[in-house]
Structure 1
Amino acid sequence: MNQYEEIKQGEKGALISIGAYIGLSAIKLGAGYWFASGALVADGFNNLTDIIASVAVLIGLRISQKPPDKDHPYGHFRAETIAALIASFIMATVGLQVIINTVRSLFSGEQTVPSLTSAWVALFAAACMGAVYLYNRRLANRINNQALHAAAKDNLSDTLVSIGAAIGIIGAQFGLPWLDPVAALAVGAIICKTAWDIFYSSTHALTDGFDANELMTLRSTIEGTKGVKSIKDIKARVHGSNVLIDVIVQVDPGLTLIESHRISDEIEQRMEGKHNIMSVHVHVEPHEEPYPGSGSLH
């Protein structure tokens, strides 16, 4: 299965998430207003933002399947990252709105005890989203798709949000009516936190940021390749769900061009086999031993 077929497989997870979010947001908003649960209403709005985020992921996955052209020689894989960035702004806006509305209701002094039925609705939603999370996580691991990994994490956070909403509703049944709006505040905070995480990872990727620890792991694999004397320089960046590597390796200056080329092929094969990285640009230079006594003179 090539990378374009893997992205096509990832669409299934995005479509399942969209269907689940549409159904659950309608149920939560309807039940939340009917049974007077601010936490459930906030959770419903959370799922509305998740619909937008999942649609953005789906659009990004479809655009990223376009083959390279003269304007995009590396392909369109960064469409996934741009879509996620847009979704983070939408999620942050809704999260802040939930927090503002809940704070207003707390200071207004109008606190009602929600029906216990709304807690069962929240727990049912948590079970549904838990199942979607497990499906998307397994699919993301199988096809190694970063966008779907992010969607799965969002599914997990929604599962926890619904459980938190149920706890707030149940607590309100025991003479703590303020616990429901407090749970709504927590939901709003989780929405904002998820939006920030997506924003940070997206901007980090778009500015060619790369995790230093992961780069060290990649460097170690290349250094362990037979024939590599040393690494002069190595750089990596994320392009959608793909990693692009540029590395300068030093080899025995007595090797022929064909032998040096074989080392380059071995590096590419090891990076694909161990790290699923298929875009590696290897530049080979002769390794120069330091001259005796070339150190600093005292």
Structure 2
Amino acid sequence: MENYKLGVKVSIITIIVNIILAVIKIFSGIVGKSNAMLADGVHTLSDVLTTFVVLLGLKVSSKEADENHPYGHEKYEPVFAKLLSIILVLTGIYIGYGSLKVLISGNIKTPGIIALVAALISIVFKEGMYWYTVKTARKIKSLSLEADAWHHRSDSLSSIGTFIGILGARMGVKILDPIAGIVVSIFVVKVGVELYLKATRELVDEAADEKTVEKIRSLTYSIKGVEEIRDLKTRVFGNRIYVDIDIAVNAFISVEEGHNIAEEVHDAIENRVESVKHCMVHVEPKKTQD
């Protein structure tokens, strides 16, 4: 619940900043006659929509397990992250199409100074929003919030391209304005595709990373009485990990002693590996001749 509140706080702040920036950029694009700035403003407006999607994802995934979802709701996180990635790709295509249309038509105007100032303001604020959001996303292990952070970064890079394009156009190379829009659109689409693939991996029960698996092995062998790890399976479930482990213990100890060893393994893994949500330990006998 604490993670949910932190995620909501970040999302609300970014929504407010994005609305202000979108108004500034669209106004500057119209008044300053800059296609690149107008496209940049639409990109920022799409950030508002994606952050609303993030809020919805955080709310749903933070719900406790229930009768219909006994394993919890964490997998809703990558589902919403997929939606965000699709919005990113569509935004990139829209920006690129608009800029390409202007380039082909040849109807390119010299942007006003207001568009250049707006681009500079956007670069500073969007880069700051990226670091603020991504830091929180990694802290609470939220994929959809991380996707939203990358949306801020793509907007920051979009504004850098816009700034270069507007500056070049004002210096006499008008063609740089729409070209900047096309270059930015390619980057935005690339980020969207990468996020989509990352979200897909979290939905198909992929194993945890090698570093986490090795930590689980090390913790297990540190428990007195564990003779061997017969099998170890991990699966990523949204932003959490489920662990199934088979351990071998001395075949001649009591059932209660074997159970106590299993409990120690269970508690060590769940308490000392932060991303683990649940650990199932199965005990097998190991005779001296094994």
* Pick aligned residue for 1:27 from 24, 27, 30: 24
1:254-265 map, 5 Å: 254-265=252-263
Q: TM-score, normalization: structure 2?
A: 0.87
Partner of 1:273: 272
Query: In the TM superposition, what whole-angstrom CA distance separates every residue of 1:161-192 from its partner, at most 9, and x where no partner exists?
Result: 22222122212222222222111012211221
Partner of 2:172: 175
Partner of 1:123: 120
Cα distance, 1:115–1:207 mapped onto 2, change above 3 Å: same
Cα distance, 1:72–1:128 mapped onto 2, change above 3 Å: same
Query: In the TM superposition, what whole-angstrom CA distance separates every residue of 1:106-147 from its partner, at most 9, and x where no partner exists?
Result: 121222221232122111112222332333234334444443
Partner of 2:210: 213
Structure 1 position 39, deviation (Å): 2.0
Q: TM-score, normalization: structure 1?
A: 0.85
- Residue 8 of structure 1 contacts residue 61 of structure 1 at CA under 8 Å; is this kept in 2? no
- Residue 53 of structure 1 contacts residue 84 of structure 1 at CA under 8 Å; is this kept in 2? no
- Residue 18 of structure 2 contacts residue 47 of structure 2 at CA under 8 Å; is this kept in 1? yes
Q: Take 2:191 and 2:71, find their aligned partners in 1: how far apart are those partners?
A: 29
2:136 equivalent to 1:160: no
Query: In the TM superposition, what whole-angstrom CA distance separates every residue of 1:260-280 from its partner, at most 9, and x where no partner exists?
Result: 333333333433324342321
Q: Take 1:230 and 1:40, find their aligned partners in 2: how far apart are those partners?
A: 62
Deviating more after overlay: 281-290 vs 104-113: 281-290
Q: Take 1:123 and 1:256, find their aligned partners in 2: how far apart are those partners?
A: 71
Partner of 1:140: 137
What is the RMSD of the two structures over their aligned residues, measured on CA atoms?
2.4
Cα distance, 1:118–1:289 mapped onto 2, change above 3 Å: farther
Give 3-state SS (helix, strand or coil) of 2:172's partner: coil
Give 3-state SS (helix, strand or coil) of 2:276's partner: coil
* Pick aligned residue for 1:55 from 15, 37, 52: 52
Q: Which runs of 5+ in 2 are unaligned?
A: none
Q: Take 1:223 and 1:34, find their aligned partners in 2: how far apart are those partners?
A: 65
- Residue 223 of structure 1 contacts residue 229 of structure 1 at CA under 8 Å; is this kept in 2? no
Structure 1 position 148, deviation (Å): 2.8
1:230-245 map, 5 Å: 230-245=228-243
Query: Where in structure 1 do 4 or more consecutive aligned residues deviate above 4 Å?
Result: 288-291
- Residue 220 of structure 2 contacts residue 265 of structure 2 at CA under 8 Å; is this kept in 1? no
Partner of 1:294: none
What letter is aligned with 1:286? P
Q: Which runs of 5+ in 1 are unaligned?
A: 292-298
Q: Take 1:138 and 1:249, find their aligned partners in 2: how far apart are those partners?
A: 37
Give 3-state SS (helix, strand or coil) of 1:206's partner: coil
What letter is aligned with 1:267? V
Q: Take 2:18 and 2:255, find their aligned partners in 1: how far apart are those partners?
A: 57
* Pick aligned residue for 2:182 from 182, 185, 190: 185
Structure 1 position 219, deviation (Å): 4.4
What letter is aligned with 2:276? I
2:102 equivalent to 1:66: no
Partner of 2:283: 284
Give 3-state SS (helix, strand or coil) of 1:243's partner: strand
Give 3-state SS (helix, strand or coil) of 1:59's partner: helix
Cα distance, 1:258–1:278 mapped onto 2, change above 3 Å: farther
What letter is aligned with 2:175? W
What letter is aligned with 2:257? E
Q: Take 1:290 and 1:41, find their aligned partners in 2: how far apart are those partners?
A: 76
Query: In the TM superposition, what whole-angstrom CA distance separates every residue of 1:197-231 from its partner, at most 9, and x where no partner exists?
Result: 22111111112223543454344434543243333
Structure 1 position 288, deviation (Å): 5.6
Give 3-state SS (helix, strand or coil) of 1:114's partner: coil
What letter is aligned with 1:148? L
Partner of 1:198: 195
Give 3-state SS (helix, strand or coil) of 1:130's partner: helix
- Residue 245 of structure 1 contacts residue 280 of structure 1 at CA under 8 Å; is this kept in 2? yes
Residue-pair matches, total: 288
